[in-house]
Structure 1
Amino acid sequence: MKVILISMPDVVPVVIHEAAVHMPNHGIACIGGNIDDDHEVYLIDLIRKRRSVRKYLTKTVKRIKPDLIGLSAMAWQYDTCIRIAQLLKELQPQVKIVIGGYHATLMHEEIAAAPESKWIDFMIRGEGEESCRRLVNALAGRDQLAAIPSLSYKQNGTFVHNERSENLDLSRLRLPIRDKRRLTWGYHMINSKIEILETSRGCTRACTFCSMKHMYGRTFRPYPLERVLADLDDIYYRCKVRWVFVSDDNFVLYPDRVMEICDAIIARNYRGLNFCVQADCITMAKNEKMVEKMAAAGFRSVFLGIESGSAKNLAVAGKGDIVDASRQAVENCHKFEMMVIGGLVFGFPDDDADSIRDTYDFFKRIGADAAYCQILTPYPKTGMREQLLSEDLITNKNDYKKYNGMWANVRTRHLDSEALQYQFWYQRQVVLGWWSPSAPMTKQGRLWTSIWRFIFKPFLKLRFRRIMRQHGWQGRYQMEVRRWEQMNTFQDLAGYEDHAVL
């Protein structure tokens, strides 16, 4: 069997320009790495082919002639996913299409009943490594579709949904694909090559906006340390990459485990190896020794889920009162020269212009290095969505193309969606202003921070000064909105049906 696994080209540039960071899709790499060796497997990350999606797929599919194509998509990428499925069926009518990822997991019943199901042959819900492996074998005549947990397949034109499988034993999974089977390349963070490492799956926190529990339940499963180190060896020695993004949902959930991993990394003496990681504020605030050990092991950048400076908003999000913990977590990271990217969420039910400004002010006061700002998004099947629906605060219930954190799909008790969208943008410009690289950021990237400070920033200041004279804040804002609207519009897929609404 010939198999191609494809990730979508859609991006969300909530920190820096959409071309500045392109990471490989770890999900399809893991699934591909666990398909049996007697099948031919190829990976395509369309994030590297954003300007030529149709042209590239046409050439590649005609050359390989796959038997099965897998498509992975988040909710906001689903429209692109269906357009690509139509293209693939047009190029090779006999090819089988399987979709997976968060959206297929959460919305499989709705997808099965929707018109676009005609383009889909299979769906995999939840973790895909074992189900996809068995699906490929079934199409080769070595397994039965009805016996594969977590698989949805068609019987007489109607989808049948097999029961979900239990969570996988991570110790049995093989390494992800990072070799020549990955047909796209050039993954980078600014000017450095980057790869992805996974050391655990799941999180036991109770955040109401998170859809992770629908993938794994409210569980935490670590990979064995030996497997983590084998993965790092593959990245460091074979791929010769020196920047690693740790994709765990919450890497620091168990500090003793973090210390053990860091000690093993230090003992291995990887020279010049740098890590970026996601972490929660409470753990980073309460475990200074762990933070110190992380820095010694090469952790250079930490994403912290700060979310808000309002205890009331944090309670709505299920985060607890982490205001003081956010401040202490940033302080601990900076003490050991770790850069902090702080996640902020706006659009909670009681938000108004003043509270939005206050949250930006809070972020500025605690001194985080860069902001990852999103508008509260009512992702399907989450507790947050149910809460907002009960209060009639969701203004866009079904058009998932705008469920990427950049768009206001909700209103608050004080702001309609349009006003929320504008205040989200405007208060950031006024309070945070132009980004100035901190000392840790400058140390880690002297070249690109210098380019920003001495070339791009002066040029952009002149450009926006002229725009402000001609159009004012509202005119500048409308220009930004038009740019956002065009960002994930792929002209060579424009001829295919729009099925973003379920």
Structure 2
Amino acid sequence: SFIVQDYGRARDEVDCSFARDVLLLKPSIIAFSCFFWSMEHHLGLAALAKELDPAVQTVFGGPQTGSPLDGRALIEAHPAVDFVISGEADLAFPELARRLTHRESPSGVPGLVHRDHGAIRVAAAPATVTNLAEVPTAYCAESLYLADRMSALDIVPIQTLRGCRNSCAYCIYRVPRLRFFPDDRVAEELEYLCRVGVRHVRISDSHFAGTRDRALHFFDVIRKVNRETKFYIYPDPRHVDGEYLDAATAANCEPLALGLETSDPGVASRVGRKQSNREFEAAFECLEANSQSIQVDLMFGLPGQSESSFCSDVIKLRARGAHQLLFSPLMLFPGTQLDDEAAKHDLETLPSAQRFARPRTLGSDSHATMFLIAEVSALLNLLHRTEGQLLKQVEGTRKREALIRSWFERCVGPRRAETIELLLDLRGTSEHLKRWATRLAAQAIGLLTPEGEHQTASTSLLEGLARTDLLEEAMRRRHRELRSAPIPSRSPAHVWFPEDIANRRWRLDDECWMAEGRVFDCRSATVHDVDTRSSALLERLHAGAAIFDIDHPYATEDMGLAVQWIRRGVLTPEDVRGEGRAG
């Protein structure tokens, strides 16, 4: 028997739970799947397991283990590590577990590095799976361990292939070669995930399905059986057109990101990136034409990349309307071409678990500026209404680029210290943002609109929009806080009759607030626009007045408005506090 355990909590809680399981379950083998961010902690857990039970055997695998030679170095440096499997362990690990259970020699298991009577035996090459049909599936009714837990999972990952058509030197997808899981098997897995009611499925292919025809086939498979499962995919830019997007929409599949990484041809050539800017542009334009917003991936710290070329990529994308930018600093994954050729590209690896790296010629100041450029872009995302109003004042892509460039030049140049101070202030809690929204809005507008420069939109209008943007962010943060907090007890649902509504006093719910002509509802993370009459009614009720009194006699319209805000959960009875919302 086996147990899959995900200790997804704070580290001190993980250590306690892990120790408990080692003592109570008495496993004979413990396997660790290791990434940069987990390797150090997993090594500590392996040492803890050995202290608790010296007979337990530990197996390390995953991307962090790198090549067999890297596995040898890991075993030499850490006595608590008994076995390392380099490469794809889908078949190698079950074979190792079988041999250890039957007390057979582990020698010959593909990709294995292990101790053998004082010596360390090293496999000649990483483990690979030539035929993906041999890999057992977990997404079927026969997989009882997962089947019983599947519907409770928030998101489930799945692959239809392994590898990538590109050969980018920094990426772990480039090795080994591109291979497909059998189409029938993938179709059965997709149908099963829809049938058991998984809420979200992330298809973790480098590019969804590998070929356009295959992608359209799987869209059709999902469409026929899908009822409420949301699928997330990474489309190949070469495949994206109107037919592709219509099929994705019909299947409830959302494209997550287009990987640009860099538009500088020289930088792309150095890292072996073959995708052309023309392919990216065509896919982006198609998504725009279909009113679909999509994230664009950018990297910084690449060989030959300057802060200027990186900033130009950001500016051009924002001017085109691509606001969802995901920034990734260069990391040297073990076993990748760029890691093997780090000396050739004069790369230095920084002392971090993620193995951040940069060209020595780039220098610390320019590297810091790249991080700041990414932070300023995130600031503009937060101030999306404000940015939109400023960009309305200029026409044409070039003028928009010039305006956005002026913001970045100011924020990373003469106003750098003020920008960093504002960014740090914006990391505060929801209550901090709400309390200081007016001051923070004024600081942000001060950065984006230099003194003496004529603005067609007044400063007060811009500060009002910035305040709204900040309150919306405060609302979202509060929403996350509420989701992570223990659920409070709720009063029974109520059915309100007109006389009940008229005779009670109502107030804004504790998790709602009014500002800038809007209601910010933290429970649902919704911003409601408020017209003049609703605003007057809500302000009056929040001040302690009744819906109807001598100064405000019964009016059908007021009753209708009150019912509308009660149903939304914005208004709650004055005598109901801390018990959740009335139904």
Question: Using a 3 Å threshold, how does the CA distance of structure 1 residues 461 and 323 change in structure 2: closer, same or farther?
Answer: farther
Cross-structure match for 2:167? 206
Unaligned ranges ≥5, structure 2: 386-429, 448-583
Cross-structure match for 2:347? 393
The correspondence for 2:375, drawn from 408, 423, 429, is 429
The correspondence for 2:224, drawn from 267, 272, 290, is 267
Unaligned ranges ≥5, structure 1: 1-39, 440-454, 473-502
Question: Using a 3 Å threshold, how does the CA distance of structure 1 residues 283 and 209 change in structure 2: closer, same or farther?
Answer: farther
SS state of the match for residue 343, structure 1? strand
Alpha-carbon separation, structure 1, partners of 2:248 and 2:108:
44
Trace 1:361-380 onto structure 2 (pairs within 5 A).
361-380=315-334
The correspondence for 2:188, drawn from 230, 254, 257, is 230
Cα offset, 1:185, TM superposition: 9.4
Cross-structure match for 2:358? 410
Answer yes or no: is the 8 Å Cα contact 1:68–1:96 preserved in 2: yes
Cross-structure match for 1:33? none
Cα offset, 1:95, TM superposition: 0.6
Aligned length: 399
Q: Does structure 1 residue 167 correspond to structure 2 residue 129?
A: yes
Between 1:90-99 and 1:48-57, the stretch displaced more is 48-57
Cross-structure match for 1:276? 232
Amino acid at match of 2:120: F
Cα offset, 1:278, TM superposition: 2.2
Q: Deviations over 1:62-114 (max 9, x none)?
A: 22111100001123432222112112212222110000112224264454466
Question: Using a 3 Å threshold, how does the CA distance of structure 1 residues 322 and 367 change in structure 2: closer, same or farther?
Answer: farther
Q: Does structure 1 residue 241 correspond to structure 2 residue 198?
A: yes
Answer yes or no: is the 8 Å Cα contact 2:300–2:328 preserved in 1: yes
Q: Does structure 1 residue 98 correspond to structure 2 residue 65?
A: no
Cross-structure match for 2:522? none
Cross-structure match for 2:278? 324
Cα offset, 1:463, TM superposition: 9.9
Cα offset, 1:173, TM superposition: 2.6
Amino acid at match of 1:419: D
Cα offset, 1:141, TM superposition: 1.2
Cα offset, 1:42, TM superposition: 0.9
Question: Using a 3 Å threshold, how does the CA distance of structure 1 residues 301 and 283 change in structure 2: closer, same or farther?
Answer: closer
Cross-structure match for 1:151? 112
Amino acid at match of 1:350: G
Higher relative contact order (CA 8 A, sep 6+): 1
SS state of the match for residue 424, structure 1? helix
Cα offset, 1:280, TM superposition: 3.6
Answer yes or no: is the 8 Å Cα contact 2:113–2:123 preserved in 1: yes
Question: Using a 3 Å threshold, how does the CA distance of structure 1 residues 55 and 427 change in structure 2: closer, same or farther?
Answer: same
Amino acid at match of 1:423: T
Answer yes or no: is the 8 Å Cα contact 2:68–2:111 preserved in 1: no
The correspondence for 1:64, drawn from 21, 25, 30, is 25
Give % identity.
20
Alpha-carbon separation, structure 2, partners of 1:464 and 1:351:
37
SS state of the match for residue 390, structure 1? coil
Q: Deviations over 1:171-195 (max 9, x none)?
A: 233222786569999987xxxx211
Question: Using a 3 Å threshold, how does the CA distance of structure 1 residues 338 and 145 change in structure 2: closer, same or farther?
Answer: farther
Alpha-carbon separation, structure 2, partners of 1:244 and 1:386:
34
Answer yes or no: is the 8 Å Cα contact 2:151–2:199 preserved in 1: no
SS state of the match for residue 234, structure 1? helix
Trace 1:299-310 onto structure 2 (pairs within 5 A).
299-310=253-264
SS state of the match for residue 212, structure 1? helix
Cross-structure match for 1:382? 336
Q: Does structure 1 residue 355 correspond to structure 2 residue 312?
A: no
Answer yes or no: is the 8 Å Cα contact 2:191–2:222 preserved in 1: no
Q: Deviations over 1:282-331 (max 9, x none)?
A: 443xx443333222222113222110232222222222363232232223
Alpha-carbon separation, structure 1, partners of 2:193 and 2:439:
41
Alpha-carbon separation, structure 2, partners of 1:168 and 1:348:
32
Answer yes or no: is the 8 Å Cα contact 1:46–1:53 preserved in 2: yes
Question: Using a 3 Å threshold, how does the CA distance of structure 1 residues 186 and 429 change in structure 2: closer, same or farther?
Answer: farther
Alpha-carbon separation, structure 1, partners of 2:376 and 2:41:
34
Alpha-carbon separation, structure 1, partners of 2:309 and 2:99:
55
Cross-structure match for 2:297? 343
SS state of the match for residue 279, structure 1? coil
Alpha-carbon separation, structure 1, partners of 2:318 and 2:235:
20
Answer yes or no: is the 8 Å Cα contact 1:48–1:186 preserved in 2: no
Alpha-carbon separation, structure 1, partners of 2:439 and 2:53:
48
Question: Using a 3 Å threshold, how does the CA distance of structure 1 residues 112 and 349 change in structure 2: closer, same or farther?
Answer: closer
Could you tell me the TM-score, scaled by structure 1's length? 0.70
Task: Tell which structure's C-alpha radius of gyration is larger.
Answer: 2
Cross-structure match for 1:449? none
Question: Using a 3 Å threshold, how does the CA distance of structure 1 residues 402 and 224 change in structure 2: closer, same or farther?
Answer: closer
Alpha-carbon separation, structure 1, partners of 2:13 and 2:151:
16
Alpha-carbon separation, structure 2, partners of 1:232 and 1:50:
34
Question: Using a 3 Å threshold, how does the CA distance of structure 1 residues 113 and 43 change in structure 2: closer, same or farther?
Answer: closer
Cross-structure match for 2:213? 256
Alpha-carbon separation, structure 2, partners of 1:384 and 1:126:
17
The correspondence for 1:465, drawn from 440, 457, 473, is 440
Cα offset, 1:198, TM superposition: 1.4
Cross-structure match for 2:423? none
Answer yes or no: is the 8 Å Cα contact 2:33–2:61 preserved in 1: yes
SS state of the match for residue 435, structure 1? helix
Answer yes or no: is the 8 Å Cα contact 1:276–1:299 preserved in 2: yes
SS state of the match for residue 343, structure 2? helix
SS state of the match for residue 310, structure 2? helix
Answer yes or no: is the 8 Å Cα contact 1:89–1:119 preserved in 2: yes
Cα offset, 1:199, TM superposition: 1.1
> RMSD of the alignment, in Å?
3.6
Could you tell me the TM-score, scaled by structure 2's length? 0.61
Question: Using a 3 Å threshold, how does the CA distance of structure 1 residues 466 and 97 change in structure 2: closer, same or farther?
Answer: farther
